[in-house]
Amino acid sequence: MYSGLMSTPERLIEATRELLWDRGYVGTSPKAIQQRAGAGQGSMYHHFSGKPALARAAIARTAEELRATAEATLGDTDTGTGTSTGSGSAYDRIAAYLLREREVLRGCPVGRLTMDPDIMADETLRAPVDETLDWLRGRLTGIVQEGLERGEFTAGLDPAEIASTIVATVQGGYVLARASGSPAAFDAGVRGLLALLAPGRDVPNLPRT
């Protein structure tokens, strides 16, 4: 299932990531991880102390991937000055984030973890989830602030509140799409939010339309 160039630890982490996304923590058994990774029990416990350690590595990897994917559309930040180096207007960058292609019916690989009681009850498993969502809200807050300073958005908007609304729209859209079995609800939420952010501006089509 995985490339022969992947090391055993990498295969185990990838297998755990996929199983957590599809089955949750309880449904991700060591045996299922081993079978999907093509690794034996001895090999798994040679590299990881057990399922919790593998889950921590898998969740951290998923969180890192979400940040990288978000940055690909939101633009980089200069680590020296803290200023954005992303190209395009604030609206365009937010639109690119909202409109990027997603596996909507599978749900957000990070957001779904918040609905897993076993992960939320374990501080070490929950921490990467909390940190990533906090990072995303903070990143979006900065971009909305840029847009306000450039006159792109209606004066008086609260950047932190708009950032939370963007995250809530995406995460809520996943839930509605999964409940209905169609990405249409996700798409409608995204298009509605973009229309509210810039009244009168044409909203780009989503990749599926």
Q: What is the pLDDT of residue 106?
A: 92
* Domain match, 39 and 100 both: no
Tally the domains of the chain.
2
Q: What is the pLDDT of residue 207?
A: 66
Q: CA angle 129-120-25, nearest 5°?
A: 90
Q: Please check the confidence at residue 14 and state whether its pLDDT lies above 60.
A: yes
Q: Which domain holds residue 164?
A: 59-197
* Domain match, 113 and 178 both: yes
What's the mean pLDDT in 166-186? 96
Q: What are the DSSP E strand ranges found in the chain?
A: none
* Domain match, 146 and 170 both: yes
pLDDT digits (tens, 9 = 90+) for 116-144: 999 999 999 999 999 999 999 999 999 99
CATH number, position 41:
1.10.10.60
* Domain match, 24 and 88 both: no
Contacts by 188-195, CB closer than 8 A, 24 or more apart = 190/98, 190/99, 193/98, 193/165, 193/166, 193/169, 194/91, 194/94, 194/95, 194/98
* Domain match, 21 and 120 both: no
Averaged pLDDT of the chain: 90
CATH number, position 81:
1.10.357.10
* Domain match, 129 and 159 both: yes
CB 98 within 8 A of CB 190: yes
